[in-house]
Amino acid sequence: MEGIWMTVAFYLLAATILGSALLVVMLRNIVHSVLWLAVCFVAMAGLFLTLDADFLAAVQVLVYAGAVCIMVVFGIMLIQRGDMGSTNLFNSQTKAAAGVVALVLVVCGYLSATTQWVGTAVAVPEQTVENIADILLSKYVIPFEVAALLLLVALVGAIFLAKEVKADGHND
């Protein structure tokens, strides 16, 4: 994947990502939003491939496009019943939010444009998984374990929070 194809792939993926993200925000039906979110995530995985991060691309598909989206859909199903027509509306501070976002974009754009990156010509090694595994289990083993713990806590927390509450106020 060299040269022009890279460029084409990038622009296509970028367009997909931005377009689907915009749809996620703009659509009035929350289920549609989630569907477009999945599209966005898949395109993101593609983008990761262009960045030589194939393992990450796989994780992206598995976790985001698979797990997260499904979970969100389940969440919606638990909450929103009936008409899905206008479940995803804007609130009263849309204009202000747009202003802030514009400001953020201006600043980010300015900074991206003016920053001089000192790049390097070295290519990304082929064995991404091995490399990641190496540092993950050596240098970053503690964050790794912490992340594991976090997931456990999140799991327990989510169960506890979402558990059904009995009428007498005790949750058991």
92 counts as binding other proteins under rule CB under 8 A: yes
Q: Which of 12, 131, 141, 145 binds other proteins (CB under 8 A)?
A: 131
Number of other residues whose CB lies within 10 A of the CB of residue 43 = 22
Quote the crossing angle between the two packed helices 128-137 and 141-162, to the nearest 10°.
90
Angle in degrees, CA 56, 61, 68, rounded to 5: 115
**Residue 24 sits in the site that holds other proteins (CB under 8 A):** yes
Instruction: Name residues contacting other proteins, limited to 42-71 (CB under 8 A).
Output: 44, 47-48, 50-53, 55-56, 59-60, 63-64, 67-68, 71
Q: What angle separates helix 30-50 from helix 3-26, to the nearest 10 degrees?
A: 160
Question: Minimum CB separation from other proteins for residue 28, in Å?
Answer: 10
Whichever of 3 and 168 has its CB closer to other proteins, that residue is 3
Count residues near other proteins (CB under 8 A): 95
**Count of C-beta atoms within a 10 Å radius of residue 59:** 15
